[in-house]
Amino acid sequence: MGIEGCSGLSIYDYLTTKDEKEHDKHCKDQSKNLCSLAEGCRYSNGECRLNVGRTLSNAYINGGFGFGKLCLSKEFTRLILLILFPPSYVFIHEYETGFKNKRAILLSFIYTCLFYFPGLIYTLLYKHRR
C-alpha cells in the first residue's frame, strides 16, 4: 500500500504519535484469524496492520477512534447497541461465545417486541450476569 509518486513509501511510515506506532506493532503481532478481532486492525496484502482508513465509521466501529488519540472500547459501542436495540447486544455476546445460550437471544427479542423496556431490563440483567 504505497503512496503514489513515492517509491517504496507506505502510509504506515507516517504514523505520528508513539501510540499509533505501538498500535501498529500490536496489529502486526496478530495472526490472520485474530486480526479482524483486534481493535483498529485490518488484514490486507497478507499482513495485519493498523487500519489507517480515514473514515469515521472505520475508526468508531473498530474501537480505534483517533487511532491512539481517543480510543473507545468495543464495550462502548455495545452499550450504544444495548440502548438502541437490546437483542443486538445479546446476539453479539452470544456470537463471540459460540451461541451457548440461544434462549437468551430469543427472550431478549420477545421482551423487546412486547415493549421496549422489558427487553432493555432483561438485557441489562443479562449483561450484569455475564
pLDDT at 39: 65
What ranges do the domains of the chain cover? 11-72, 75-129
Q: Look at the block and give the residue holding cell 478481532.
A: 37
Residues of the chain with confidence (pLDDT) below 70: 1-20, 23, 36-39, 52-73
pLDDT at 69: 46
pLDDT at 113: 95
Residue 17, C-alpha cell as written in the block: 504519535
DSSP-assigned states of every residue in 78-115: HHHHHHH-HHHHHHHHHHHTTSS-HHHHHHHHHHHHH-
Give yes or no for a contact between 48 and 32, defined as CB atoms under 8 angstroms apart: yes
Q: Is the pTM above the cut of 0.75?
A: no
Cβ-in-10-Å burial (0-12, 13-18, 19+) of 20 comes to buried
pLDDT at 6: 41
Query: Residues 122, 80, 31, 95: what is their CA dihedral angle, to the nearest 10 degrees?
Result: 30
Q: What's the rounded Cα separation, in Å, for the pair 19 and 67?
A: 8
SS3 content of the chain, % helix, strand, coil (to 5): 55, 10, 35
Q: Which pLDDT tens digit goes with each residue over 46-64? A: 888 777 665 555 555 544 4
